[in-house]
Structure 1
Amino acid sequence: MLLTPRTNRPPRPPLSAGRSRRHRTAALLASAVSVCLVSASTPADPLGIGDRLFPYLGNPGYDVASYDLSLTYPGTNDKPLEAVTTIDAWTTKSLDRINLDFAHGKVESVEVDGRPAAFTSARDDLVVTPKRALLRGNWTRITVRHTSDPRPAKHRDGGWVRTTDGLAMANQADAAHLVFPCNDHPSDKAMFTIRITAPNGYTAVANGLPTGVDKVGRSTTWTYRTQHPMATELAQVSIGHSTVLHRTGPHGLPVRDVVPTADRRALEPWLAKTPDQIAWMESKVGPYPFETYGLLMAQAATGFELETQTLSLFEKGVFTEPAYPKWYVESIMVHELSHQWFGDSVSPRTWSDLWLNEGHATWYEALYAQEKGHKPMADRMKAAYSVSDSWRRSGGPPAAPKPPAAGQKIGIFRPNVYDGAALVLYALRQEIGEPAFERLERVWAQTHRDGTVTTADFERLASSIAGRDLSAFFNAWLYSEKTPPMPGHKDWKATPPEKSAAQ
Structure 2
Amino acid sequence: MLLSSRTPRTAALLAAGVSLAVLAAAAPQSATPLGVGDRLFPHLGNPGYDVQSYDIAFTYQGDNSKPLDAVTKIDAQATSMLDRINLDFSHGTVHSVKVNGLRADFTTKGEDLVVTPTRSVVQGEPLHITVEHTSDPVPGKEEIGWVRTKDGLAMANQADAAHRVFPCNDHPSDKAYFTFHVRTPKELTAVANGRSVSTTRAGDTTDWTYRTEHPMATELAQVSIGRSSVLRREGPHGLEVRDVVRTEDVKTLDPWLAETPAQIAWMESKVGRYPFENYGLVIADATTGFELETQTLSLFERDLFTRSEYPRWYVESVMVHELAHQWFGDSVSPRTWSDVWLNEGHATWYEELYAQEKGDRPMEKRMRAAYGASDAMRADGGPPAAPKSPAPGEKISIFRPVVYDGAALVLYALREEIGKEAFENLERQWVSTHRDGTATTADFVALASQIAGRDLNGFFDAWLYGKKTPPMPGHPDWKVEPVKTAEK
Counterpart in the other structure of 2:309: 323
Counterpart in the other structure of 2:109: 122
Choose from 84, 88, 97 the match for 2:71. Answer: 84
Contact 2:232 2:241 in 1 (8 A): yes
Matches within 5 A, 1:280-429: 280-429=266-415
Counterpart in the other structure of 2:38: 51
Measured against aligned partners, the alpha-carbon deviations of 1:208-248 in whole angstroms (never above 9, x if no partner) come to 00000011211101000000000000000000000000000
Contact 1:27 1:302 in 2 (8 A): no
Contact 1:5 1:24 in 2 (8 A): no
Contact 1:167 1:238 in 2 (8 A): yes
| C-alpha separation in 2, matches of 1:347 and 1:492 | 33
Counterpart in the other structure of 1:263: 249
Following TM superposition, by how much is the alpha carbon of 1:42 offset from its aligned partner in structure 2, in angstroms? Answer: 3.3
Measured against aligned partners, the alpha-carbon deviations of 1:394-443 in whole angstroms (never above 9, x if no partner) come to 10000000000111011000000000000000000000000000000000
SS in 2 for 1:392: helix
Counterpart in the other structure of 1:137: 124
Q: Does structure 1 residue 274 correspond to structure 2 residue 260?
A: yes
Contact 1:5 1:23 in 2 (8 A): no
| C-alpha separation in 2, matches of 1:181 and 1:493 | 49
Give the counterpart letter for 1:133 in structure 2.
S
Contact 2:77 2:127 in 1 (8 A): yes
| C-alpha separation in 2, matches of 1:42 and 1:337 | 46
Q: Does structure 1 residue 431 correspond to structure 2 residue 417?
A: yes
SS in 2 for 1:497: coil
Give the counterpart letter for 1:372 in structure 2.
K
Following TM superposition, by how much is the alpha carbon of 1:28 offset from its aligned partner in structure 2, in angstroms? Answer: 7.3
| C-alpha separation in 2, matches of 1:109 and 1:26 | 32
Q: Does structure 1 residue 451 correspond to structure 2 residue 437?
A: yes
Q: Does structure 1 residue 97 correspond to structure 2 residue 81?
A: no
Measured against aligned partners, the alpha-carbon deviations of 1:269-304 in whole angstroms (never above 9, x if no partner) come to 100000000000000000000000000000000010
SS in 2 for 1:228: coil
Counterpart in the other structure of 2:2: 2
Counterpart in the other structure of 1:147: 134
Counterpart in the other structure of 2:173: 187
Following TM superposition, by how much is the alpha carbon of 1:41 offset from its aligned partner in structure 2, in angstroms? Answer: 3.6
| C-alpha separation in 2, matches of 1:214 and 1:236 | 20
Give the counterpart letter for 1:482 in structure 2.
K
SS in 1 for 2:73: strand
Q: Does structure 1 residue 199 correspond to structure 2 residue 185?
A: yes
Choose from 88, 91, 99 the match for 1:112. Answer: 99
| C-alpha separation in 1, matches of 2:283 and 2:129 | 34
| C-alpha separation in 2, matches of 1:29 and 1:122 | 15
SS in 2 for 1:425: helix
Contact 1:290 1:310 in 2 (8 A): yes
Following TM superposition, by how much is the alpha carbon of 1:35 offset from its aligned partner in structure 2, in angstroms? Answer: 2.4
Following TM superposition, by how much is the alpha carbon of 1:24 offset from its aligned partner in structure 2, in angstroms? Answer: 4.8
Following TM superposition, by how much is the alpha carbon of 1:140 offset from its aligned partner in structure 2, in angstroms? Answer: 1.1
Contact 1:227 1:291 in 2 (8 A): yes
Contact 1:208 1:310 in 2 (8 A): yes
Counterpart in the other structure of 2:204: 218
Measured against aligned partners, the alpha-carbon deviations of 1:181-217 in whole angstroms (never above 9, x if no partner) come to 0000000000000000011100000000000001121
Following TM superposition, by how much is the alpha carbon of 1:33 offset from its aligned partner in structure 2, in angstroms? Answer: 6.3
SS in 2 for 1:393: helix
Give the counterpart letter for 2:108 in structure 1.
S
| C-alpha separation in 1, matches of 2:170 and 2:49 | 12
Contact 1:111 1:117 in 2 (8 A): yes
Following TM superposition, by how much is the alpha carbon of 1:37 offset from its aligned partner in structure 2, in angstroms? Answer: 3.6
- Name the Cα RMSD after superposition: 1.3
Give the counterpart letter for 2:259 in structure 1.
K
| C-alpha separation in 2, matches of 1:383 and 1:305 | 23
Count of aligned residue pairs for this structure pair? 486
Contact 2:106 2:114 in 1 (8 A): yes
Following TM superposition, by how much is the alpha carbon of 1:78 offset from its aligned partner in structure 2, in angstroms? Answer: 1.6
Following TM superposition, by how much is the alpha carbon of 1:6 offset from its aligned partner in structure 2, in angstroms? Answer: 2.3
| C-alpha separation in 1, matches of 2:65 and 2:341 | 37
| C-alpha separation in 2, matches of 1:35 and 1:344 | 32
| C-alpha separation in 2, matches of 1:36 and 1:218 | 31
Contact 1:28 1:161 in 2 (8 A): no
| C-alpha separation in 1, matches of 2:460 and 2:257 | 38
Listed as ranges, the gaps of 5+ residues in structure 1 are 8-20
Give the counterpart letter for 2:46 in structure 1.
N
Give the counterpart letter for 1:296 in structure 2.
V
SS in 2 for 1:498: coil
Choose from 475, 482, 492 the match for 2:461. Answer: 475
Contact 2:100 2:127 in 1 (8 A): yes
Following TM superposition, by how much is the alpha carbon of 1:5 offset from its aligned partner in structure 2, in angstroms? Answer: 2.3
TM-score (norm 1): 0.95
Contact 1:204 1:240 in 2 (8 A): yes
Choose from 50, 56, 76 the match for 1:63. Answer: 50
Contact 1:157 1:408 in 2 (8 A): no
Give the counterpart letter for 2:441 in structure 1.
T
* Pair 322,416 (structure 1): closer, same or farther in 2 beyond 3 Å: same
Following TM superposition, by how much is the alpha carbon of 1:23 offset from its aligned partner in structure 2, in angstroms? Answer: 6.1
SS in 1 for 2:274: coil
Choose from 232, 238, 243 the match for 2:229. Answer: 243
| C-alpha separation in 2, matches of 1:165 and 1:33 | 27
Following TM superposition, by how much is the alpha carbon of 1:34 offset from its aligned partner in structure 2, in angstroms? Answer: 4.1
| C-alpha separation in 2, matches of 1:29 and 1:134 | 30
Contact 1:70 1:195 in 2 (8 A): yes
Measured against aligned partners, the alpha-carbon deviations of 1:17-59 in whole angstroms (never above 9, x if no partner) come to xxxx6665435788x5642241514320000011000000000
Choose from 473, 477, 481 the match for 1:491. Answer: 477
| C-alpha separation in 1, matches of 2:16 and 2:77 | 34
Percent identity (aligned): 68
| C-alpha separation in 1, matches of 2:61 and 2:143 | 23
Contact 1:4 1:24 in 2 (8 A): no
SS in 1 for 2:206: strand
Give the counterpart letter for 1:4 in structure 2.
S
